[in-house]
Chain A
């Protein structure tokens, strides 16, 4: 039976460095190629040696698909394509293609220039890698080759995030990447049609979580910012350049407008500005409301939010600054943090996750004294607030997506599987489908039942109809004879004569003959007659003929008698039958081997 194999190299019962290999209909596809932000050793990148021990990946992969621009989904891409070696196509959506290299370059700078790591990909490698990218549009079916096709669906989560359907013949797999089933301030909700894939590979980050309402979250955020501004403090919001930053910008912008607040809001130069530019460019990827109001007012054209200059940090009075990077490990956000940390009126709001070892991680753990370079210590007096705005589907969202797509099997990745037995049971019970949660390096195998279309010749069909009654009964299988011809990419069923003719072959007949020795003290014709009588009594319902030329025919099986020269009583029965009558022929031979009953006249 044909199978679809799914092997996570990363994100199997784990969050970070998403990388999933899918083998479907003879094609091998890599879904996402992410890095783990928590490590800087071998565990940072997926283990590509699983694909091949030595040599390039190009020979083993038909294509690579990237779901969205977060580094845990695309961070290992230049490493894979340039350092391990892959020259095949890499598919991603237009916004992902635009934003991905910026983030990769930013990350490379931090790792190589700031931390001084070597053996990391270079700027040139990122450029070379991006040359291999083929952009995808939503709902556009792209033929990777003659058999393999892919199609992208909207996934919410971040700008340009997509779910992909991979299809080979009638077999298909849908990979969700990260997705969000509820629309947020700048993005819409994920959507897919009833495509009934053989496997739905879904993330499950928040599968065991019931989310507090977005409203309560946002209200707390605005309240915190406002409180701090009111008492004359400065608010630093270290952000990851894209995603939440835009959402928070829209929120603050509108709040400022409404409240008629005068305190300036800045975002750090370069990255976020560029990112906002991308949002404007890819307005079609945002939510309905932003698209609808775009003509009157572009939501990303901020009135109150201005570009930041490093000299502003020392300005007196309250202000709000969005600065990158989001984990306070380097760059502008760290510089501003150092300046403002000493004043308890100030506040830093961390809107996302921080990797161990970063300043962000330390202050979130309540550390109040930080060791900086040059043995200096920094007293953290400012208020630290941690808020999570990440947008993933929760259990309800996962169920919703299953209802939408109606998959035959479910596979969960990007979540901690140890505690997901209940969800697995829930999916299996509610939809009566199997649910898999393979660990990294483990393979989930799903047997598929693809339908194979076969053309049948009209002649053959007519002949069969004549033989076995009028119309074929769809509920009853019927045996028929014909020849299956596989030619080019089609299958057809024709009568054997036609097949011989088409293929220019001669007909051959296959006959079995067998000799059965009997002790029978009669003349040859008498023996034959005895055989005839015996068979006549045993095989009721068969045509048995005693032909004048000294043979007995049972259907098409020929029986002859001859006696041996030495012993007149020893008779030899000669049986001969064609291949089609094998069943009857072998029955007859074993029957006659038992000898003739004595009472026959």
Chain B
């Protein structure tokens, strides 16, 4: 709680803390139907509060904490030293110099979304049905699709124009999603890829390896139509992973297991190349890292690197060490920038995260143990992705109801515990679901390709949030 307060003070110095907090408390009160019996605020525990030792230099009092510990009121307060770990009781805001207040045995009310403070923009939407996929189809539009009923919708949504209005933002009142195109699918949609440079999307239902091809429609119509299908090579009950690259005519790389990965031309259905391997490991993702090089990541943690131009055997990396107790691994490759070559991150179901370099898949660049719930309810919900802009930043979701952002540049080659740089808890906090129903799980997240801190995330209750968070100025960077 205190660390959030400090985070806030650093981020939004011009407002005393009470202001915005009160707005939300007020909104909340007004939202409640009956406040006649509300002297006692609900104090459900805030489920994923940053629990932390974040290091900060205190400037107050005669003695100074060294190092500084920040903790809840359950921890003894006082001056902290290396031997007696006490949480600092003399915190002051680094910007306004106001003292940070503490309240014993109090927690943020779940409904009190003080988290609003940490966002430049936050838009909260409710879809009729939850989505597992969010995919950019153009600069301002994304595609989402349902998975929960026998018949589902696939929608192309235009993001709120207010987000993109740089000058005169105040003049833009348009803060809603607009359904620009929509269509109906016969089954659930578990995976969806937009083929860059086309108006074409490819989906998979998670039950077979077959793919469905969709025409997203042009300006003259608002209907998304089924344009064909691609038959998969294997009988699979986990569904195909799909990757696409800029190509004309459109092509997609797809497969359910490492043995049946193939590149197929959508119009002709012709197989252009196949991954040459005998092992049939389940795939967790497929991804192009350049025009012709792609990665096939397997659930057991190993990764195949292959080139569509040659038929040579792919390079195979072994799973990271300590993978024995992990059920599953997910991975993502960063886009090579000037600062670094392509990095690959692998995340295990037990919260191990390992960063390696594409050129040396055996070696470890850095690693950490994440602060996540290590028994995810739905393995298929987990996703990990590199920020396309912020160097070394990674977003992780799917373990529970939050999206976490980690900065891997702070990590070293030895294993350590990692604290998130930022957590988006909005899906849990703002959910209208009543107690007793299944806990909310973030089903998908997506970085904006250019705006450094803008993400979209979707959760199992059908909520979709678009958020642009404010980077805390002091993050305890050592």
Residues of B within 8 A of A396 (CB): 126, 128
Chain A 191-232 per-residue mask, 1 if CB under 8 angstroms from chain B, else 0: 000000000000000101111110111110011101000000
Evaluate contact between B183 and A289: CB separation under 8 angstroms. no
Additional 17 contacts, C-beta under 8 A, given A206-B176, A254-B29: A210-B157, A212-B125, A215-B31, A219-B27, A254-B26, A254-B30, A258-B22, A259-B19, A350-B173, A365-B171, A366-B168, A386-B173, A395-B128, A396-B126, A419-B222, A423-B182, A429-B184
A401 CB → nearest B CB, Å: 14
Residues of B within 8 A of A350 (CB): 173
Evaluate contact between B222 and A383: CB separation under 8 angstroms. no
Pick the 6 closest A-B CB pairs, nearest first: A422-B182, A210-B177, A213-B124, A386-B173, A385-B170, A388-B173
B181 at the interface (CB under 8 A from A): yes
B172 at the interface (CB under 8 A from A): yes
What is the CA–CA distance of A209 and B176 in the complex, to the nearest angstrom?
6
| Known contacts A219-B23, A420-B222, A426-B153; A213 and B126 CB within 8 A of each other | yes
Residues of A within 8 A of B123 (CB): 212-213, 216
Residues of B within 8 A of A429 (CB): 151, 184
Task: Specify which of A212, A386, A420 lies most central, judged by the most chain B CB atoms within 10 Å of its CB.
Answer: A212
B24 at the interface (CB under 8 A from A): yes
| Known contacts A212-B124, A383-B170, A387-B173; A425 and B223 CB within 8 A of each other | yes
Residues of B within 8 A of A420 (CB): 222
Would you list which residues of chain A between 369 and 392 have a CB under 8 Å from chain B?
383-388
A147 at the interface (CB under 8 A from B): no
A390 and chain B: residue at smallest CB distance: B173
A258 and chain B: residue at smallest CB distance: B26
Please name 5 pairs of A and B residues whose Cβ atoms are closer than 8 Å in the assembled complex, sorted by A: A212-B125, A215-B27, A289-B33, A364-B171, A388-B173
| Known contacts A212-B125, A420-B222; A222 and B23 CB within 8 A of each other | yes
Q: Number of residue pairs across A and B with beta carbons under 8 Å?
A: 117
Interface size band for B? 35 or more
A421 at the interface (CB under 8 A from B): yes
Evaluate contact between A212 and B160: CB separation under 8 angstroms. yes
B437 CB → nearest A CB, Å: 19
Evaluate contact between A210 and B19: CB separation under 8 angstroms. no
What is the CA–CA distance of A210 and B20 in the complex, to the nearest angstrom?
26
Would you list which residues of chain B between 2 and 52 have a CB under 8 Å from chain A?
19-20, 22-27, 29-31, 33-34, 36
What is the CA–CA distance of A219 and B183 in the complex, to the nearest angstrom?
34
Evaluate contact between B171 and A384: CB separation under 8 angstroms. yes
Evaluate contact between A208 and B179: CB separation under 8 angstroms. yes
Evaluate contact between B124 and A426: CB separation under 8 angstroms. no
Chain B interface secondary structure, helix, strand, loop or mixed? Answer: mixed
A515 at the interface (CB under 8 A from B): no
B122 at the interface (CB under 8 A from A): yes
What is the CA–CA distance of A566 and B267 in the complex, to the nearest angstrom?
91
| Known contacts A383-B170, A429-B184; A209 and B30 CB within 8 A of each other | no
B411 at the interface (CB under 8 A from A): no
Evaluate contact between B178 and A211: CB separation under 8 angstroms. no
A498 at the interface (CB under 8 A from B): no
Chain B 174-208 per-residue mask, 1 if CB under 8 angstroms from chain A, else 0: 11111111111000000000000000000000000
What is the CA–CA distance of A4 and B96 in the complex, to the nearest angstrom?
69
What is the CA–CA distance of A259 and B18 in the complex, to the nearest angstrom?
9
Residues of B within 8 A of A293 (CB): 36
A388 and chain B: residue at smallest CB distance: B173
Would you list which residues of chain A between 249 and 274 have a CB under 8 Å from chain B?
250-251, 254-255, 258-259
What is the CA–CA distance of A16 and B245 in the complex, to the nearest angstrom?
46
B430 at the interface (CB under 8 A from A): yes
What is the CA–CA distance of A421 and B172 in the complex, to the nearest angstrom?
27
B108 at the interface (CB under 8 A from A): no
B279 at the interface (CB under 8 A from A): no
What is the CA–CA distance of A395 and B125 in the complex, to the nearest angstrom?
13
Residues of A within 8 A of B153 (CB): 426
Residues of A within 8 A of B151 (CB): 429
A280 at the interface (CB under 8 A from B): no
Evaluate contact between B126 and A216: CB separation under 8 angstroms. no
Q: Which of A213, A259, A384, A421 is close to B221, meaning CB atoms less than 8 Å apart?
A: A421
| Known contacts A288-B33, A289-B33, A429-B184; A216 and B175 CB within 8 A of each other | yes
B464 and chain A: residue at smallest CB distance: A210
Residues of B within 8 A of A487 (CB): none
Residues of A within 8 A of B128 (CB): 395-396, 399
Residues of A within 8 A of B181 (CB): 422
A304 at the interface (CB under 8 A from B): no
